[in-house]
Amino acid sequence: MKSELLAIMAEFLEVDPEELQDYKTLEDLNIDSLDFVEIMFEVEEKYDAPVIFEMQKKRTQIQNLGEVLRLTEELILKHRDQTAASASPDARTGSAAPADADG
Amino acid sequence: MDNAPQRTARVPARVVVTGIGVLSGFGNGLAALEDGLFSGRTAIRRIESLDTRALTCHFGAELPAFDGQALIQKAERHAYDRVSLMALAAADEALAQAGLDPAEIGPTAGVMMGTAFGPGDAIQDAVLRASENQRLRPTTILKMMLNGPTAALCARYRLQRGSQAHVTACAASAHAIAQAVQAVRWGEMDVCLAGGADAFPTSALFTAWDALAIMSAATDPTAGIMKPFAPDRSGFVIGEAATVLILEREDHAIARGATPLAEICGAGAVTDTPTLTKPTLRGMVGAMRAALEDAGLDPAAVGHINAHGTATELNDSLESDAIRAVFGPHAPAIRVSACKAALGHCMGAGSAVEAAATILALCRQQSPWTIDPTAVTADPQTGPQPTAPYSGQTVPMDTDIALSNSFAFGGHYATLAFRVTKP
């Protein structure tokens, strides 16, 4: 998934994916707050998983690109788990928590 | 860095134009406007961007080819509407002609841009998507801002002096230029990028104009689609344009070796709004007199007028009467140009593109699309006078002073006064 996320960013920023190294900061990559939210929008479109809201909350604490990729991937995987759980037989009988129960 | 306005001038400075950038129905660039306008051609063609089969009006003056995407980075494209890209292209051209380095002007430059409808594409697109419960991109709101063209120029050149977006309908860019003249005249900034931009209407906006039943339904170009001041005029068609003028203090321009194209020696704006749409003689006369007073000019000094000339019944009759009222026996000696016959009604960009046309007319000592304003009148006692067949006649003139009129829905009336030093 990391390479796919890098590809999304590289296309948006019009740079070679190899330039997007984990240690670089958002400032290094000239990613301002609007670029950041647009990139997260592209991620949501591709994975059909909500990441914008959580990533926006964390943006100012994010140290580098590696952290962006890790947190984004975590959110996508968490959403997949929740979606799978809500689609399980237990969920259909109402015994599982709603997918968005923890916000 | 301190970027506070410094209104230091105790004596008003002369304000000159040192660069012009234009996108119009004639194409991209000032040269395309000059070639088209002074050869008597019209940029009004059958509309290509919209399906008008269910509507009354079928003609307009769209930009023949414009793709501004290369002007900005891909990451910015979601935040810039077509109208902002048009403004950027015009501003780049204007700065190049002025010989100003876009990377250097920021600290002492500002911007005043007019638009009537701003980012129409972005607004219509967002409305349609929202009505269909589609997601909107996070930066949609930036693309929808009415100050889009102004903000685009602020960002591109990192401008640090004053900036304003004027939205006074079809006088918007006249108000923008008038404000810019004041700002430069009194030392608030060394340089001001001033003008206007309006993209061709979206289907919703065009349909709204069509519903008002003041656009020309004509479909025979040989008989004339839009005929300002003609007794058989039948309304306007819409044009698409962006124009940016580089205004600076005359001493600033001369000190850096630039060649002033013209001086904007006066600007006048008045309001008269008995109804939202009905033009008034008082408003038109008031704007022209205010500009003459601001410029310290005797009416007899004026030799050229770029008329508002919308080819609507009442506007042209009243503007004709207003010219007679302001200039009296001198009126017949004034060469009056009706450029909308060639450019269409460019809405909030109209005043700016017509300012460019006025400067070109003075520099060339030629009046393009010259009409006889005495052919029409709102006075029922006089009645329309016989007139020659309608054509885009360019006629010679001999004057150093011109006015350009702009009148708008909402009762906004503005006139700009221009002066050149004749060789």
Same domain, B168 and B280: no
Token pair 């190899």 is found at A18
Strands (E), B228-323: 238-239, 241-249, 262-271, 304-306
Domain count, chain B: 2
CA distance B71 to chain A (A): 14
Same domain, B106 and B134: yes
Give the ranges where B297-396 is alpha helix by DSSP (H). Answer: 313-327, 340-343, 350-364
* CA gap A73, A94 in Å, rounded: 28
- What is the amino acid identity at position B53? R
ipTM of the complex as predicted: 0.72
- pLDDT score for B390: 64
- Domain presence at residue B22: yes
CA distance B74 to chain A (A): 7
Same domain, B308 and B212: no
Same domain, B381 and B250: no
- pLDDT score for B2: 56
Residues in chain B within 8 Å Cβ distance of A38: 75, 78, 137-139
Residue ending a domain, choose from B229, B255, B281: B255
- pLDDT score for A32: 87
User: Please, which residues 288-327 of chain B have a Cβ atom closer than 8 Å to chain A?
Assistant: none
Same domain, B245 and B276: no
CA B322 to chain centre: 20
Q: How far apart are the first and last CA of chain B?
A: 43
CA distance A12 to chain B (A): 6
- What is the amino acid identity at position B248? E
- Domain presence at residue B174: yes
- pLDDT score for A59: 85
Phi-psi region of B19 (alpha: psi -120 to 50; beta: other; left: phi over 0): beta
Nearest chain B residue to A9 by CA distance is B75
Give tens-digit pLDDT for B210-242.
999 999 999 999 889 999 998 889 999 999 999
- pLDDT score for A102: 38
Structure tokens of A25?
């900061």
Annotation marks residue B345 as catalytic: yes
Give tens-digit pLDDT for A17-63.
999 999 999 999 988 888 899 999 999 999 999 999 999 888 888 88
Distances (CA, A) of B44 to A79, B120, B339: 55, 21, 11
Annotation marks residue B339 as catalytic: no
Q: What is the CATH number of the domain that holds B49?
A: 3.40.47.10
Residue ending a domain, choose from B199, B232, B255: B255
Same domain, B51 and B161: yes
* CA gap A29, A12 in Å, rounded: 12
Q: Which residues of chain B have pLDDT under 70?
A: 1-9, 380-391, 423
Domains of chain A: 2-89 (1.10.1200.10)
Stronger pLDDT, A86 or B366, i.e. the higher one:
B366
User: Please, which residues 22-51 of chain A have a Cβ atom closer than 8 Å to chain B?
Assistant: 34-35, 37-38, 40-41, 45
Same domain, B47 and B119: yes
* Complete DSSP assignment for B183-220: HHHTTS-SEEEEEEEEPPPPHHHHHHHHHTT-B-----
Give tens-digit pLDDT for B153-193.
999 999 999 999 999 999 999 999 999 999 999 999 999 99
Stronger pLDDT, A93 or B306, i.e. the higher one:
B306
For residue A94, pLDDT beyond 90: no
Q: Which of A9, A15, A34 to mutate to test the interface with B (most CBs of B within 10 A)?
A: A34
The model's confidence at residue A100, banded by pLDDT at 50, 70 and 90, is very low
> For A34, which of B74, B135, B139 is closest by C-beta distance?
B139
| Total Cβ atoms within 10 A of residue A93 | 8
Token pair 């000094």 is found at B301
Does the CB of B116 have a partner CB in chain A at under 8 Å?
no
Mean pLDDT of chain A: 84
Structure tokens of B314?
């009442």
Does the CB of B139 have a partner CB in chain A at under 8 Å?
yes
Structure tokens of B259?
């060649």
- pLDDT score for A96: 41
Annotation marks residue B154 as catalytic: no
* CA gap B227, A23 in Å, rounded: 65
Q: What range does the domain containing B37 cover?
A: 16-255
Same domain, B193 and B310: no
Same domain, B23 and B118: yes
- Domain presence at residue B2: no
Residues in chain B within 8 Å Cβ distance of A40: 138
